Structure 1
Amino acid sequence: MHREEPNGPLPLWHELSVVWVGGLAVEHPLIRLVCALAKLHRKRRWARRPLVADRRRRALLDEIDLWVATNVGAAVVPPVAALIEEMARAGTRARRLLATDDPAGEAVHMAWTSLAALADQWSELVAHAHVPYEYSIAEAR
């Protein structure tokens, strides 16, 4: 997938957006965690054991913040997991409303507008957290 900036440590907004709107996700360690979080949000409405789902959600949020702390460091001031969770909730709501409400209605428009505003916040966060991120490939013997 084309990246708008060279090898940043955090995925770009459109790389995250495929998690909520569907599509082919890029290979990135954070995307894997975000996919799991989004799946929990989609299933939470029908969860038979919401406390278990909440514990798993909290564990995923902690994993996200740990990954960011390890790979990006203190360059990120707002907690990344909190913004990702807001995006997961907003994306889940927007998709649900698109499927169940009038697609041209105000509720659908507002849900997608909210998600777009969060994507803008994500872009700002990525721009301010730009730290070179290098993938290493072990030498074959």
Structure 2
Amino acid sequence: MPESNKGANARRLKANRAAGVGDETGRLPSRVKTEAIMICCEICKSELKVTKTNTELKLHAEGKHGKTLEECFVGAEGHAKEINARLEAGKKGTGGKSSGGGLTKAEQKKKNADGAFDMLSAGLAGKKKKK
């Protein structure tokens, strides 16, 4: 009789504990988050988080001070480039959910619908049998 997932998981956790990986029960964290990069405004000393697009930082610099991003937050563009580079590096070799054969959800839906229509039309195209 085949083994259940419970047994396979127990073996995996036992191996993790023996190898010293994970927490005390052998569970691995699903994702390790990196610390958010916070940067201070040079003019008003308010601290904001650096993101991929730095939208908040740009709005702060232009709206509150009427200056450019680099005048208010020195080095913010470099931090944003690092974040984007890390995200791109994570996407390339993972083979996870994001790499679904290169098709978007809309393209997959269309492909599945076309396949179902082909199967339906193939079944309807045959001649009826005479009794």
Normalised to the residue count of structure 2, the TM-score between the two structures is 0.32
**Which structure is larger by alpha-carbon Rg, 1 or 2?**
2
From the two aligned structures, give the one with the greater helix fraction: 1
From the two aligned structures, give the one with the greater strand fraction: 2
Structure of greater relative contact order (alpha carbons < 8 Å, 6+ residues apart): 1
